[in-house]
């Protein structure tokens, strides 16, 4: 930090860190590489009007290599690998000598974050104070699915053989499997399981995005002001009100969306319009108001009794708060195999509520 003049102080900070690898395995049963990270912070702190207005603005940049997360669906892979072949169902699994992958596996990605943060405190009078802060974050990831796509590329030929052995055929154009009409379901007990698992994997891989993902972070802002009475009949009374605002959150992406296969209306294929960068956001931003009322009574021997009433969700918002997304039939048509991602999981907001506290200082 540098103090060129009394009312402004620029600063800069650089840091590096190292974390041992996560204990979850990669898809090939080996362990993840260590995580390496570095970051910088730079900004300025300021003070005006003899300290009545103080604040700071900060810009940060962070980079993390080998951050764990993502990966191909290992459950679908194991379902496919455990599919019995029509030629020899007694084995009870694939006849291509392909072993199962770990039941729990993850991948790695490189993560970047940058953004601005600011805070301002203004003491307009000895009794009246206001606080404002904001955050404009941007978080990105790239180079994801490194181990998953490596497994997929080296094992795809064998996986096609396995789904075919189970009684299906693979379309050379779409890459999707369908039931072999010359083989009855009775003769192929794992035909449907293998087909569904293989097609789910194809659609998932087609939705992978290997470039830099768009940021899923949401901007936020908080403002609060309070007023304290220090003399007269209302001496000891304090009243405050605040508002928290957060941009509509990202709750999913449309990378798994599908459309009807133009060559077979009974099947679905990946929707080429969407990738994992096609976000689904909550329908509304988050806004929450809070009211604080306090009263302090001064007692003998410098003792105090303070009563506080906090009103949370003061605007009594009771709309649904969406927390996640899922696949649903396109346009609500259950006769179509096409699926689209929409907000699904949700929570109910706690309605307006009141909290009373008393504190005795001695």
Say if residue 241 is in the same domain as residue 146. Answer: no
Whether residue 46 is predicted with pLDDT greater than 90 in this model: the reply is yes
Instruction: Based on the fold, state whether residues 149 and 239 are members of the same structural domain.
Output: no
Q: d(Cα 55, Cα 9) in Å, to the nearest integer? A: 11
- The helix (H) or strand (E) run that includes residue 135 is strand 128-142
For residue 227, is it within any domain? Answer: no
Binning pLDDT at 50, 70 and 90, where does residue 301 land?
A: confident
Report pLDDT digits (tens) over 143-177. 888 899 999 999 999 999 999 999 999 999 889 99
Out of 165, 190, 217, a domain closes at 217
Question: How far apart (Å, rounded) are the C-alpha atoms in residues 27 and 9?
Answer: 50
Cα–Cα distance list, 317 to 10, 314, 326, 353 (Å): 41, 8, 25, 11
- DSSP string of 340-351? EEEE--EEEPP-
Helix, strand, coil % over all residues of the chain, rounded to 5: 15, 45, 40
Are residue 79 and residue 8 in the same domain, yes or no? yes
Residues 144 and 260 in one domain: no
Average pLDDT over residues 224-237: 92
Return the pLDDT at 206. 86
Per the domain annotation, does 5 fall within a domain? Answer: yes
As a whole number of Å, the CA-based R_g of the chain is: 29
pLDDT at 68: 86
Q: Residues 330-356: what's their mean pLDDT?
A: 92
228 is a domain residue: no
On whether both 54 and 172 belong to a single domain, the answer is yes
**pLDDT, tens digit (0-9, with 9 covering 90-100), for 189-209:** 999 999 999 999 998 898 787
Q: What percentage of residues in the chain have a pLDDT greater than 70?
A: 100
Please check whether residue 351 lies inside any domain of the structure. yes
**Of 176, 191, 217, which residue constitutes the final position of a domain?**
217
CB neighbours (10 Å) of residue 150?
A: 14
pLDDT digits 0-9 by tens, 65-75: 988 888 899 99
The pLDDT value given to residue 308: 96
Q: Largest alpha-carbon pair distance within the chain?
A: 96
Strands (E), 155-278: 168-170, 177-179, 220-228, 237-246, 250-253, 258-261, 264-270
Write down the pLDDT at residue 74. Answer: 93
The C-alpha torsion from 82 through 86 and 89 to 94, rounded to 10°, is -30
pLDDT band per the 50, 70, 90 thresholds, residue 214? confident
Same domain, 41 and 190: yes
Structure confidence by residue, pLDDT tens digits, 244-298: 999 998 998 888 899 998 888 888 888 989 887 788 999 889 999 999 999 999 8
Residue 229 counted as domain residue: no
Using CA atoms in the order 250, 274, 68, 212, what is the torsion angle rounded to 10 degrees? -90
The answer to whether the beta carbons of residues 218 and 246 sit under 8 Å apart is: yes
Task: Tell whether the model's pLDDT for residue 11 goes beyond 90.
Answer: yes
% pLDDT > 90, the chain: 60
Report d(CA 221, CA 44) in Å as an integer. Answer: 19
Name the domain count of the chain: 2
| Gap between the Cα atoms of 154 and 262, Å rounded | 29
Ramachandran region of residue 71, left (φ > 0), alpha (ψ -120 to 50) or beta?
left
Considering the domain architecture, whether residues 213 and 280 belong to the same structural domain is answered as no
Mean pLDDT of the chain: 91
**Residue owning tokens 């927390």:** 323
| 154 lies in some domain | yes
Based on the domain organization, do 239 and 210 belong to the same domain?
no
Place of tokens 């220090």: 230
Q: End of a domain among 182, 217, 252?
A: 217
Q: Is residue 226 scored above 80 in pLDDT?
A: yes
Question: Quick check: 94 and 85 in contact, CB under 8 A?
Answer: yes
User: 150: helix, coil or strand?
Assistant: helix
Distance CA 217, CA 138 (A): 6
The mean per-residue pLDDT over the stretch 92-114 comes to 91
106-118 pLDDT, tens digit per residue, is 999 899 999 999 9
166 and 247, same structural domain? no
Give me the domain span that covers residue 211. 1-217
Give the Cα separation of 320 and 351 in Å (integer).
11
DSSP-derived 3-state class of residue 199:
helix
Q: Are residues 247 and 173 in the same domain?
A: no
- Both structure tokens of 210: 């290997």
Q: Indicate if 180 and 248 belong to the same structural domain.
A: no
Q: For position 201, what pLDDT does the model report?
A: 93
Q: Is the pLDDT of residue 14 over 90?
A: yes
The CA-to-CA distance between both ends of the chain, in Å, stands at: 40
Query: Has residue 307 got a pLDDT over 90?
Result: yes
Are residues 66 and 192 located together in one domain of the fold? yes
């Amino acid at each position: 930090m540098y103090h060129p003049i009394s009312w402004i102080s620029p600063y800069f900070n650089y840091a590096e860190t190292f974390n041992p690898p996560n204990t979850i395995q990669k898809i090939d049963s080996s362990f993840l590489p260590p995580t390496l990270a570095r970051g910088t912070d730079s900004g300025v702190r300021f003070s005006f009007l003899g300290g009545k207005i103080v604040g700071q603005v900060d810009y940060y940049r962070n980079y993390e290599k080998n951050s764990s997360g993502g990966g191909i669906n290992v459950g679908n892979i194991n379902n496919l690998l455990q599919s019995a072949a029509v030629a020899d169902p007694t084995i009870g699994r694939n006849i291509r000598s392909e072993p199962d992958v770990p039941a729990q596996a993850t991948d790695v990605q490189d993560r970047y974050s940058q953004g601005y943060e600011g805070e301002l405190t203004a003491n307009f009078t000895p009794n009246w104070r206001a606080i404002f802060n904001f955050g404009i974050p941007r978080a990105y990831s790239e180079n994801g699915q490194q181990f998953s796509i490596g497994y997929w590329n080296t094992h795809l030929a064998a996986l096609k053989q396995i789904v075919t052995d189970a009684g299906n055929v693979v379309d050379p154009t779409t890459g999707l499997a369908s039931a072999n009409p010359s083989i009855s379901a009775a003769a192929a007990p794992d035909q449907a399981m293998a087909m569904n698992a293989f097609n789910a994997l194809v659609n998932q891989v087609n939705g992978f995005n290997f470039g830099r993902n768009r940021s899923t972070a949401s901007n936020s802002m908080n403002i609060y002001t309070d007023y304290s009475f220090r003399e007269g009949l209302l001496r000891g009374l304090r009243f405050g009100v605040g508002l928290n605002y957060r941009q509509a959150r990202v709750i999913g992406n449309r990378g798994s969306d599908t459309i009807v296969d133009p060559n077979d209306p009974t099947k679905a294929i990946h929707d080429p319009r969407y990738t994992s960068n096609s976000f689904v956001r909550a329908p509304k931003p988050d806004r929450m108001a809070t009211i604080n009322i306090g009263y302090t009574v001064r007692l003998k021997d410098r003792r105090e009794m303070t009563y506080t009433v906090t009103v949370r969700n003061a605007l009594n918002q009771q709309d649904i708060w969406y927390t996640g997304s899922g696949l649903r039939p396109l346009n609500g048509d259950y006769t179509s195999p096409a699926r689209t991602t929409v907000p699904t999981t949700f929570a109910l907001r706690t309605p307006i509520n009141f909290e009373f506290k008393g504190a005795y200082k001695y």
